[in-house]
Every structure is written in structure tokens, then in C-alpha cells.
Structure 1
Amino acid sequence: MKLSTEPYWQYLLRDVLELYQSGSAGGSAKIRSHMAEVRRLLGKVIDDDPAVQEEEGEELPVCVHLDRALSNAVGYRTARLARSIEGVREHLHWKYGYEKVPRGLTRKYGYAEILGPTGPVVSDRIILGLVLFGPKTTYPGHSHKGLTESYVCISGHTSENDVGVYAPGSLILNPPGHYHRITTADREPCLLAYAWTGARESLVHQKMTFSRK
């Protein structure tokens, strides 16, 4: 199957693109440059008309919070993206990504890739995905070698490195090697969309590990 024949995956990618088009960089030149890079790469992916590997999805325990997280986007500019996620949720493969997951995270965390070298939309230009956190989650500190990462908050509230609180529609930028730790609100789940940009080798061979400082 090709992207051009799969409208729900098209909607999903275009809704992510729209968030990086309409969102504010807050006056930051670095954030503005990253948003432009995500738009450029995602536009090329759409023009490429890549393959879509649509298979039956897999869930993790954290997925009990997904309905709530999607409905909590109503009223925010991320609502359209939430509706598009609903359209493909039965094909999302939720994973931990780590060989050893801290016991406290097994029911509170999971990620699902949307676009990347392993699909479902297949491309090595950029990686896009979703991260779902349950309420009152602490995601241990980590960093990504060779990758620039951004999160757009779809629903819920989160904090990174205990600096500020990010509401739906907010964007968080993590440069390569930047150590970051994530926490979420006490009573509601948090759903984030992430984008990874970098050299093809970094995208294809990135390993997910926790680190300590």
C-alpha cells in the first residue's frame, strides 16, 4: 500500500505538519529552525508517497488511558490530530523500546511509531511517533545521541526537568545529547507527539537507553 491510497495516514501526517506550521516558536531561533526542518522533511515524505505497512496493532497496559487522552484534546488546536490518531489506533504498535524498563513504568508508559524506517509509514528522512504517559508518571532522565527531538503536547500537562509546565499545543525542543526527565500531572494522562531529525544513520540505529546524572 502507498500513502496516497491510505487517507487516514495522510490525515495524520498532515495534521502533524499543520502543528509545526501554525505553532509558535516563542521567539526562539533554534525552535523556529527545527520546526522548519520538520516541515521540510515531512513535506518530502508526503511527496515521496512511501509504503504503508498496515498491520494489526499491539497495546500495552498504559493504553487503558488512551481514550481519556484523546478526548482530553477536545477544545485545543491538537483536537484534529487526536481525531486522526483515533482513525489509525487499531494499527498502532505500542512498545517500551527499552531492554530493561523500570518496574514503575510498565503500566504508565508506551510509545508508538507513526513514520520511520520500520513504519507503519516507511521513511528514513524523519521519525514521528506518539508517547502516552499515565497520570503521575516520572520518566527517567535520558538523552538521544545525534538526534534533535521535539515533543508537541496533544493533551494533558507535562514538565521537563522541572522547568515550566507544558499544556496542549506546547512544543518542547531537546537538542542532541540534551539530558531530559519528564513528569506528568497527578490525575490525567498525557499524550505527546514526537519528531526526531538527524542523519540517516542516527535515525536507523538509535538505541533507547536510560541514563543517570
Structure 2
Amino acid sequence: MALPAEKPAPRKIPAADLLKSWADGHTGVTLSLRDAVRGITDYADWQQTYTEEEVGAEFLSRYGYFELVGPSGHFQSNEVRAYIAYWGENLYYPWHQHEAEELYYIIAGEALFEAAGMPPQILRAGDTRLHTSNQPHAMTTAGSPVLALVLWRGAGLTGLPRMSAEP
């Protein structure tokens, strides 16, 4: 891993302000990580993968991520990507898939995770979930937002998620 020649410029989105003001949803184990993420929201290069046509304006107003490690991250790597991602409460993240394997580590909040070939599962702070290459998956938040560390590895590292039909 290397530092980029140029630091990514900070970019704000509405979800960053929601994250900064959110104080619940953690465990004692994840509290310091949740606080560290909240502390750097103004310095992060926040992104959104999807278009309004794909997920709607309401979803985009309460969703976002920034890449810590990866081809365009704060630390550059072509072997792994590490994101911090936020989804607001009462959001449905539709079925999608991507070539890279994906691991979610929940920092705060909770959400219902669904994936082809696996039973639905509610994940809370401290829980993990692995999605294999091209495994369709979806997520629904209810009364709590969710903040996660998301890791990608393997083929398709630079590819984008593709919306898919429910399996």
C-alpha cells in the first residue's frame, strides 16, 4: 500500500451529516471505531455508487461511503478495497452483485442482510457477513442506520455493483 500522489479532496454528501449527528447503535467494542469514523467525516471523499434512477432520491440522501484503501482511496492498493459505508434508517438497499468478494463488519446500528443461498440475518455492531463473488445480496435497515467497514478482494476489484433481480 502507498499514499496517493495527491490526497483525495474532501467531498460531502447529506449522509455525512447524518452520520456525524448519530450517537447510538454501537457496542463497547465498536465505540472507539464509530467515534473515529464520525471524527473524520468532514475530511473524507464521500461517494455514491448508484444513480437516482436505480435507487431513488430518498436512498441517495441517506447513503454514502468513502474508500480508505483501494485504487482511489486514501491509501492506494490494487489488491484490496476497504470502505466505510453508511445507510440511514428505513432504507432498502436493493438486490445487487459484484465480482469481488465482500465482507461487512458492522461498526454501529443493525440491518437485515439477505443473500442468495443464505438465510436472512440481522447483523448488529460487531457482526460480520461474507458475500462470495457474484452472489446477489440486499440489505434493509429499520429503525436504526448502519455503519460498516466493507472489504473487497479478488477479481473485479475495480468493478461496480450491478443491480440484480431477487434470487
Common fold, TM-score beyond 0.5?
yes
Task: Supply the distance in 1 between the matched residues of 2:13 and 2:7 (Cα, whole angstroms).
Answer: 18
Per the TM alignment, residue 137 of structure 1 is displaced from its structure 2 partner at its CA by 0.6
Give the equivalent residue in structure 2 for 1:135: 89
Residues 68 and 168 of structure 1, relative CA distance in 2, 3 Å threshold: farther
Runs of 5+ in structure 1 lacking a partner?
1-44
Matched, 1:198 2:154: yes
Per the TM alignment, residue 56 of structure 1 is displaced from its structure 2 partner at its CA by 3.6
Matching residue's letter, 1:89: T
Per the normalisation by structure 2, the TM-score is 0.84
- Is this contact kept in 1: 2:27–2:126, CA < 8 A? no
- Is this contact kept in 1: 2:26–2:107, CA < 8 A? no
SS in 2 for 1:166: strand
Residues 190 and 166 of structure 1, relative CA distance in 2, 3 Å threshold: same
Larger radius of gyration: 1
Taking only aligned residues, the RMSD between alpha carbons, in angstroms, comes to: 2.0
Runs of 5+ in structure 2 lacking a partner?
none
Per the TM alignment, residue 90 of structure 1 is displaced from its structure 2 partner at its CA by 2.4
Per the TM alignment, residue 73 of structure 1 is displaced from its structure 2 partner at its CA by 5.3
Matching residue's letter, 1:181: A
Identity of aligned residues (%): 23
Matched, 1:94 2:50: no
Q: Which of 49, 64, 76 does residue 17 from structure 2 map onto? A: 64
Matched, 1:51 2:51: no
Which of the two has greater helix per residue? 1
Task: Supply the distance in 1 between the matched residues of 2:50 and 2:44 (Cα, whole angstroms).
Answer: 18
The Cα offsets for residues 128-178 of structure 1, whole Å up to 9 and x where unpaired, read as: 001111110100000112x11010111011111271211100001101111
Matching residue's letter, 1:190: V
Give the equivalent residue in structure 2 for 1:105: 59
- Is this contact kept in 1: 2:16–2:42, CA < 8 A? no
Per the normalisation by structure 1, the TM-score is 0.68
Matched, 1:174 2:131: yes
Task: Supply the distance in 1 between the matched residues of 2:62 and 2:54 (Cα, whole angstroms).
Answer: 11
Give the equivalent residue in structure 1 for 2:108: 155
Task: Supply the distance in 2 between the matched residues of 1:90 and 1:68 (Cα, whole angstroms).
Answer: 12
Per the TM alignment, residue 101 of structure 1 is displaced from its structure 2 partner at its CA by 3.8
Which of the two has greater strand per residue? 2
Give the equivalent residue in structure 2 for 1:3: none
- Is this contact kept in 1: 2:106–2:125, CA < 8 A? yes
Matching residue's letter, 2:147: L
Give the equivalent residue in structure 1 for 2:37: 85
Alignment length, in residue pairs? 159
Give the equivalent residue in structure 1 for 2:71: 117
